[in-house]
Amino acid sequence: MAEERKFDRFGRYLILDHLVDGGMAKICRARFLGEQADKVVAIKMVQPQFSKDESFKTMFMDEIKTTFGLLHPNIVQTYDYGLQNDQLFVAMEYCDGRNLKEYLDQLKKRNFVFPVEISVYITIQSCQGLHYAHTFTDKLTGKPANIVHRDISPHNIMLTFDGSVKVIDFGIAKSETNSEATQAGTIKGKLSYLAPEYLDGHDLDPRYDLFAVGITLWEMLCSRKLFKASNDLAVLKKIQECKVPKPSSINPNVPEELDKIVMKALHKDRNKRYQTLEEFGRALNKFLYSTYPDFNASDLSYFAKELFKEEIKKDRERLYQFGQIDIKPYLEDMKREQEGEERPLKLLKLVLVMEQVREGSGTGS
């Protein structure tokens, strides 16, 4: 039973289970410990050795600076960050779902392809989140943030089981707040989702993310990778050539109008692509509802729940068990810890007051 097991407390959070164990950081599911209310969040915890590394700390803070102010239904929200037990951490909105790569893998296992209308809908939602990030202006300074994600791929698009689409992981995003310069000769982003202008050494702008969204849509429609080769160098050569087959040549269900939209998004010359993610999203939106007038956003939810039926059932049982945890001992433990931290401050204040009184009585004598 969940209540008999001892869970680890991480500051104001109760760690429930691990979602991802990476070399530099791990992502856990956690419960925010509140007297009145609590919620499930995702916490990214940096391993202690990297938390002490100054360059890593700078990179981590760059990500937080980039995303902390972003508030959009298609972007995972950042709630909290700091240092706890010598570990840098960030607490984020928990997405109850899977990333797009996992959906593609699951479909491949079953010899299915994403329905055209659902592929288009997912892309429209991604476009909306990214356009918001690209045009985001800091409300306190009035300065544009000039964010470019730079790492869009199926790994970084989350699809929740209730049908929401969320862009995640602005870890290497370029923005005005960045303090770290890109080292010469290092490739940032996943190889197969780079745009040709990256290899030509051009400055990156929102059209770079647009190209990666275009690749992602192409891969959903065709159920295969666009730029795939036996080694990294061959992949880079394919990106440079940028010879993209029409999606309909692989999947006959793709209408000609959608072919045109995808091919424009994946044009080698960025000046001949759509110039913003909003423009790309609008073209897809017009296509979606003129070709599939009965499509509804809830169709994605039905599709997701059918595809991951068994996983959802197991996870719901697990979350129900987490809901039975008696959090009182953890709240009391947290309270004692907070009081322990406050006691030295109270003593210091008392000493200062006593010294002021002594000085005051000394001058009066």
Residues 47-71: what's their mean pLDDT?
A: 85
Could you list the residue range(s) of the whole structural domain that residue 298 is in? Answer: 97-315
Are residues 88 and 101 located together in one domain of the fold? no
pLDDT band at 37 (very low <50, low <70, confident <90, very high): confident
Judge whether 350 lies within some domain. no
Q: What contacts 311, CB < 8 A, 6 or more positions away?
A: 98
With beta carbons less than 8 A apart as the criterion, state whether 39 and 85 touch.
Answer: no
Are residues 67 and 121 located together in one domain of the fold? no
Judge whether 204 lies within some domain. yes
What are the tens digits of pLDDT across the range 311-327? Answer: 999 999 999 999 899 88
Are residues 42 and 53 located together in one domain of the fold? yes
pTM: 0.87
Q: Is the pLDDT of residue 273 over 70?
A: yes
Between helix 277-291 and helix 256-265 the angle, nearest 10°, is 170
User: Residue 19 and residue 6: Cα distance in Å, rounded?
Assistant: 18
What are the tens digits of pLDDT across the range 138-183? Answer: 888 899 999 999 999 999 999 999 999 999 988 666 666 555 444 4
Are residues 105 and 226 located together in one domain of the fold? yes
pLDDT band at 357 (very low <50, low <70, confident <90, very high): low
Please report, for the domain that includes residue 89, its CATH number. 3.30.200.20
Question: Residue 354's pLDDT is what?
Answer: 62
Share of the chain above pLDDT 70, in %: 87
Question: Residue 184's pLDDT is what?
Answer: 41
Catalytic residue among 151, 203, 232, 333: 151
Work out how many domains the chain is built from and give that number: 2
DSSP string, 124-168: HHHHHHHHHHHT-B-TTT--B---B----SGGGEEEETTS-EEE-
Are residues 106 and 19 located together in one domain of the fold? no
With beta carbons less than 8 A apart as the criterion, state whether 219 and 104 touch.
Answer: yes
Are residues 108 and 22 located together in one domain of the fold? no
pLDDT band at 219 (very low <50, low <70, confident <90, very high): very high
Q: Among the three residues 94, 116, 146, which one is the final residue of a domain in this structure?
A: 94
Question: Residue 265's pLDDT is what?
Answer: 98
Q: Is the pLDDT of residue 89 over 80?
A: yes
Judge whether 355 lies within some domain. no
Judge whether 253 lies within some domain. yes
Are residues 155 and 270 located together in one domain of the fold? yes
Mean pLDDT over the full length of the chain:
88
Residues 276-302: what's their mean pLDDT?
A: 97
Tokens of 199: 């290899």
Question: Residue 182's pLDDT is what?
Answer: 46
Q: How far is CA 146 from CA 37, 163, 169, 269, in A?
A: 36, 29, 17, 21
Are residues 50 and 171 located together in one domain of the fold? no
Least confident stretch, 82-91, 214-223, 285-294: 82-91
Question: Residue 64's pLDDT is what?
Answer: 86
Q: Among the three residues 94, 119, 135, which one is the final residue of a domain in this structure?
A: 94
17 is catalytic: no
